[in-house]
Chain A
Amino acid sequence: MAELDINDAVLTTRLDAVVNWGRKNSLWPMPFGVACCAIEFMSMMSSKYDLSRFGAEAMRFSPRQSDMMLILGTITNKMAPVLRTIYAQMAEPKWVISVGVCASSGGMYRTYATLQGVDRIIPVDVYVPGCPPRPESIIYGVMKLQEQIEKESLSMRKDHIARFYESLERQDALQAAKGLTSQQTIREMLMDAGERGVGTIF
């Protein structure tokens, strides 16, 4: 009888589904803007394209207060340790969108100075192609991320991020042991990963 009294006040669901529903509709973006993609991002956030329609309008410039990092521009090898630190500082659970070809693969900058894709040093969830991509493209990337969040399991996301923290500890240990700069440490980790045939250092 009790079930009948509360019939439409209760909804049964899976925990993953309800938590992920909340997560995907309240993303807090943090722009890591280093090049022209950041200009498209500004346009995406402001009234004409308006990302707040997708529940991600609370932009924060502190990694501590955000959970979706948008990498907007060319990441140089000198910037690589900074990117890793900023990613580590973000609130969990966290997601990364690599916006534009420079962030995704180095783009046209196939040189000694440019990191050939941020997915070598931090886990990336969605890649947005374009040079720079239009605001619609970046919004489409955010929508793809929302679809992905909807489907993922809570523990997998946790393990995913834990693997990154483990690599950060390896980086610190290597840096202390060899007395290198953080840039050179990441470079050596990348070289080592490349020789082992692995594409990433985490």
Chain B
Amino acid sequence: MATTATIHAHAAPEGFVRKYIFSLDHKVIGLQYYFLALVAVFVGMFLSLLMRVHMIWPTAVLPLVGEIKPETYLSLLTMHGTIMVFFVLTTAPQGGFGNYFLPIQIGAPDMAFPVLNMLSFWTTFIAFITILAAFFVTGGAPLHGWTGYAPLSALSNSGPGEQLGADLWITSIAIFCVASLMGALNFITTVLDLRARGMTMMRLPLTVWAWFITAILGLLAFGVLLSAGILLLLDRNLGTSFYIPLVVVNGQVMGHKGGSPLLWQHLFWFFGHPEVYIAILPGMGVASQLLSTFSRKPIFGYKAMVYAIMAIGFLGFMVWGPPYVYERHEPLLSICFLADDHGHWRAFSHQDV
């Protein structure tokens, strides 16, 4: 492994910026991800607190926030859901803990691509700033829910917040996708190529297996969401009709024709369902590892656990079908997908308000 040693052997960085801000060190990047997620979780919690306060005192006028109108409430709900799902649940377990511990657990000097690692963090950071910006533009934050169903999310006159706020929301998610793709590539390469001698795949700690499968899920899911987001931006700003059929908003015939709202659901849930497992798999890996370590026992059924993690990843993709089944009529498909989907559908949904 002389090559990896040569690539990754580098002198300790000097200077504050190289050491703590644009760092190439997986531990520093892991901490950066972790603290970004920590900031995001406080923002998300603050938003849900505002929703609760509104429920207790519906007419209260809050300092700085003002009156919480129905559209304000929906904006809070949308931004809470999006920030929590993307910048907390996706960021902390994989980007934070994964970056910090994965190289240590497989005996690698660092992640496979340190520069890419730094870029993926800072791209995530830009995505976070972009989504926060949606609060401060004319019309405010979007109200289309974290699933951003078209045509609600595709028409700028479908509600307040659906103007620049919605564009920023989509742009933020697209940037986040790019960052996650870079991260996923790095995780997969590191696990496959940088394991220490003797660390075979079937000896990997379950945390590493979980991060590895999560990265594969991310690689497949975020690419699709990125393209879905770009199509949505085109529909909103360049007059295309990917997601918009002939619609009439408040008596006004819009200039779109022939698009399909279901297309967005397909593409979104092709990301959305694996996302559930992207969020939970690292936690499952950590739970297995911690229990085994602190009870000083080997993992019960290690191989079965590895296959189970793989199966969760595979089935996680299969559940993308159901929204289609709920909207349309596909008898055979529905039975296959329902068997797979029991209990997963709407597990994450903030739409049932």
Q: Do A and B come from one complex?
A: no
| Residues of chain B having any CB pair with chain A under 8 Å | none
Residues of chain A whose beta carbon lies under 8 Å from any beta carbon of chain B: none
